[in-house]
Amino acid sequence: MPRGQQSIGESAIDVEQLWRTYRTTTGTLRRHRLEIEAVRGISLQVEPGELFGLLGPNGAGKTTTIRVLCTLLLPTSGKVRVRGIDVVDHPGEVRRQIGYVFGGDRGLYDRLSAVDNLRYFADLYGLDPRQQRRRIEAVLELVGLKGRGRERVEGFSRGMRQRLHLARGLLHDPPVLFFDEPTIGVDPVGAREVRQVISDLAKSGKTILLTTHYMFEADSLCDRIAVIAKGKIVAEGTPQELKAGVRVGAVVEIEAYGVPELTVQRIRDLPEVDSVSTEVREQAQLLTVQAQEGSQLTGRLLQLLEGVRVERIAAREPTLEDAYVALVTGE
Amino acid sequence: MVLSGWWYQLKMQAQSGFTVLVALIQPLIFASIAMADQQAGNRTLPLLYYALGAGIMGIWSTVVFGCGGALNWQRHQGMLEPLVIVPAPLVLVLLGITLGTATVGLYAMGATLLWGWLVFGAHLHFANLPAFVIAVIATVVALGLLGLVLGSSFVLYRNSNALSNALEYPVWLVCGLLVPLSLLPGWTHPLAYVLAPTWGVEALRAAAIGGNPWLPLLWCGVSSIAYLGLGVVLVRNVERLSRIHATLTFQ
């Protein structure tokens, strides 16, 4: 079977025991070698036509994983195949099969117009010159940039740039698409439009792997989700399976000022406590304490927080986001 | 796709205020150097001889800074990853960029000759105009290909634009752009012979002032083929190393 043509039953994306380690050095006079294991033995399969989500916090290994799949990074070890083609041995053929869309302000030629950006990449993707014009018009319309093609990218908003990234990724109509945090930094209306485009692409039969740290985004878009934390997959399944599989008992939220790290650790060490996450909100800290079902913690928490200015302490029902936090903090 | 890269690189640089400003001012400096050279020398060689050397200095400066700067600029812009991920061989993608950069240098050369004529009274009389035009194109292509060899190392090292500073002036001297090769120590000659600016300036001078431009043009072509071969090997290795060490971005 020619490479690039998928055989029946073969996964569109196949990752087996992927490890990726970064090696760097620190120090000026005395150099120390540092090894960072960004991805630690990930295995996953994505079926043709599936919209698969890689969900995890910053630094979890999502972008590293997607970069390996897109042939931008070599794995330290493991086997990675896209449509049956090994990404290490045949990167050129993998690149013909994929489109890669990443978020952010960069990645476009600011001094060129949107159409010029797309024309350049249409040439690099080997699109027939006679079909380029039609294809460029079609992708601009698909992403909602119709009529804006002649404008220079430097005048584009963040949302428009993201849509142009999307247009570029779709130019050569690849069967497999990778989206790396496609709505990051985009306003809510723009983000909703981007998600709608992704959903429509999935319905048209594209295989999509999407990374995100927004639980609701993965929940609303994906057929299946793998939750990744500290380089490992900690849970995998459909959104419904993930919600059912993670038990979160009681949740206590504490808004306070200047909580010492030692106090947070003492809260964490309480036998009924599963996890404690902290979030800084302007001057205050928001502690979210997840505990076993039926725990009565409020009194003991207030004792540990003696001397700290506590603005609010309240027990509430656990949400899906709490389930996600429980998974990624791994406590 | 090489033509496409050449065209869009040219378009972007032409819209850069900084590039335009440098392209206006630098040739005046180079033309002044040429004039000072001629005044300090035995003055038997016409001013055009020195002006052509200064013109090649302009193209070389554009190439050495342009190729290193362009690739680091691509990285800063977040463009290196999208360029690597296309199915087109990276060597062809980079070739378009380096040829576009070398073509911008052509402007510097033209401006140098113009300044030489306007300010210093150089006579722009070309003994063999068709050969001169061919020599200009061959020189630009050769320097673009040499830029490909340089640029492929710049992709690997994040702060390699510092190398551009070290490479600019030695080439001016070693390739006979400022003074004839015969005045330089013998041990510099082998180095001069492997560098395209040496043959480019000799072909241009022969076509403009009188002489045989075809032999230096032949060597220009031979060095171009060698640079292309070396560039293909280097780019392939560098791409692989970049994927191992994650140097396609600054992150």
CATH code, A83:
3.40.50.300
Q: Considering the domain boundaries, does residue B7 fall inside one? A: no
Chain A residues whose beta carbon lies within 8 Å of the beta carbon of residue B250: none
Give yes or no for a contact between B33 and B125, defined as CB atoms under 8 angstroms apart.
no
Angle in degrees, 0-180, between the axes of helices B47-76 and B161-174, rounded to the nearest 10: 170
- Residue B27: give the domain boundaries: 22-245
Per-residue pLDDT of chain A in tens (331 residues, 90 and over written 9): 555 555 556 889 999 999 999 887 666 666 677 788 999 999 999 999 999 999 988 888 999 999 999 999 999 999 999 999 999 999 999 999 999 998 777 889 988 999 999 999 999 999 998 899 999 999 999 998 999 999 999 999 888 899 999 999 999 999 999 999 988 888 888 888 889 999 999 999 999 999 988 888 888 899 999 999 899 999 898 888 877 766 667 788 999 998 999 999 999 999 888 888 888 877 888 898 888 877 788 888 999 999 999 999 988 776 667 777 777 776 4
Provide the whole-model pTM.
Answer: 0.80
In this prediction, residues B19-46 reach a mean pLDDT of 69
Please judge whether A109 and B79 are an interchain contact, meaning their C-beta atoms are less than 8 angstroms apart: yes
The pLDDT tens digits of the residues spanning B83-126 come to 889 998 888 888 888 888 888 777 777 777 777 777 777 777 78
Helix, strand, coil tally for chain A in percent (to 5): 35, 30, 35
Residues A297, A289: Cα–Cα separation, whole Å? 9
Same domain, A121 and A264: no
Q: Please tell me whether residues A172 and A316 are part of one structural domain.
A: no
pLDDT value, residue B44:
64
Domain that holds residue A174: 13-244
Contact B155, B233 (CB under 8 A): no
Nearest beta carbon to residue A71 from set B12, B85, B88: B85
Q: Give the pLDDT confidence score for residue B52 in this predicted structure.
A: 79
pLDDT given at position A116: 93
Nearest CA in chain A to B94: A124
Residue A7 lies in a domain: no
Closest Cα of chain A to B94: distance in Å?
11
The pLDDT of residue A70:
94
Look at residue A272 and tell me if it is in a domain: yes
Window 223-282 of A, Cβ < 8 Å to B: none
Q: Give the closest-approach CA distance of A316 to chain B in angstroms.
A: 39
Say if A74 is an interface residue toward chain B (CB within 8 Å). Answer: yes
Residue B243 is nearest to which of A74, A102, A119, comparing CB atoms? A74
pLDDT score of B34: 67
Same domain, A254 and A272: yes
Mutation for B interface: A77, A102, A109, most B CBs within 10 A: A109
* Residue B42 DSSP symbol: -
Contact (CB, 8 A) for B125 and B44 = no
Q: Do A70 and B5 touch (CB under 8 A)?
A: no
Predicted confidence at residue A117, as pLDDT, reads 94
pLDDT of residue A224: 94
- Residues from chain B contacting residue A93 (CB–CB below 8 Å): 87
Encode burial over B51-77: b for 16+ CB neighbours within 10 A, e otherwise.
Answer: bbbbbbbbbbbbbbbbbbbbbbbbbee
Q: Indicate the DSSP class of residue A6.
A: P
Instruction: Give residue B158's pLDDT band: very low, low, confident or very high (50, 70, 90).
Output: low
Closest residue in chain B to residue A73, using alpha carbons only: B243
A123/B81 touch (CB, cutoff 8 Å), yes or no: no
> What pLDDT score does A137 carry?
94
Say whether pLDDT at B230 is over 60.
yes
Q: Residue B244: which of A74, A102, A123 has the nearest Cβ? A: A74
- Neighbour count for residue A299 (Cβ, 10 Å): 7
* pLDDT in the model for residue B41: 63
- CATH number of the domain within which A281 lies: 3.30.70.260
B86 touches chain A (CB under 8 A): yes
What does the pLDDT read at residue B189? 83
Within A185-319, residue ranges assigned H as helices are 188-203, 215-221, 239-245, 261-268, 298-304
Q: Does B52 touch chain A (CB under 8 A)?
A: no
In a domain, A314, yes or no: yes
pLDDT for residue B251: 45
Same domain, A26 and A104: yes
Q: Pairing mode, if any, of strands A224-229 and A232-237?
A: antiparallel
Q: Mean of the per-residue pLDDT values for chain B?
A: 79
Which residues of A fall within a CB distance of 8 Å from B81? 72, 100, 102, 107
B229 contact partners, CB below 8 Å, separation of at least 6: none
Are residues A70 and B12, on separate chains, in Cβ contact within 8 Å?
A: no
Residues in A touching B93 (Cβ below 8 Å): 124
Q: Does A184 touch chain B (CB under 8 A)?
A: no
CA distance B89 to chain A (A): 8
Domain co-membership, A88 together with A225:
yes
Pairing of strands A309-316, A207-212: unpaired
Domain's final residue, options A212, A244, A276? A244
A302 inside domain:
yes
Q: Which residue of A has its CA nearest to B76?
A: A106
Task: Name the A residues in 87-116 with CB < 8 Å from any B CB.
Answer: 92-93, 95-96, 98, 100, 102, 104, 106-112, 116
> Do A120 and B83 lie within an 8 Å CB cutoff?
no
B87 part of contact set with chain A, CB < 8 Å: yes
Per the structure, how many domains does chain B have?
1
The larger pLDDT score, comparing residue B79 to residue A316, is at B79
Question: Is A154 at the interface with chain B, CB within 8 A?
Answer: no
Supply the pLDDT for residue A9.
62
Residues on chain A touching B8 (C-beta within 8 angstroms): 109, 112, 116, 120
- Smallest CA–CA distance, residue B61 to chain A, in Å, is 23
Nearest CA distance, B7 vs chain A (angstrom):
9
Q: CB A72 to CB B88 under 8 A?
A: no
Choose, out of B2, B73, B81, B238, the residue to mutate when testing the contact with A (most A CBs < 10 Å). Answer: B81
How much of chain B is helix, strand and coil, in % rounded to 5?
Answer: 80, 0, 20
Same domain flag for A133 and A233? yes
CA gap A261, A254 in Å, rounded: 14
Domain count, chain A: 2
pLDDT band at B238 (very low <50, low <70, confident <90, very high): confident
Q: Are residues A50 and A142 in the same domain?
A: yes
The overall average pLDDT reported for chain A is 87
d(CA B122, CA B125): 9
Average pLDDT over residues B62-87: 80
Residues A182 and A322 in one domain: no
Distance between CA atoms of A241 and A223, rounded to whole angstroms? 11
Q: Which residue of B has its CA nearest to A22?
A: B245
Same domain, A204 and A282: no
Closest in A74, A108, A121 to B86, CB measured: A121
Of A244, A274, A293, the residue that ends a domain is A244
Report pLDDT for B51: 75
Which pairing describes strands A309-316 and A273-281: parallel, antiparallel, or unpaired? Answer: unpaired
Residue A43 lies in a domain: yes
Among the residue ranges A181-185, B48-52, B217-221, the one predicted with the least confidence is B48-52
Q: Which of B162, B63, A321, A239 is nearest to A329 (CA)?
A: A321
- Residue ending a domain, among A203, A229, A244, is A244
> What number of C-beta contacts closer than 8 Å exist between A and B?
80
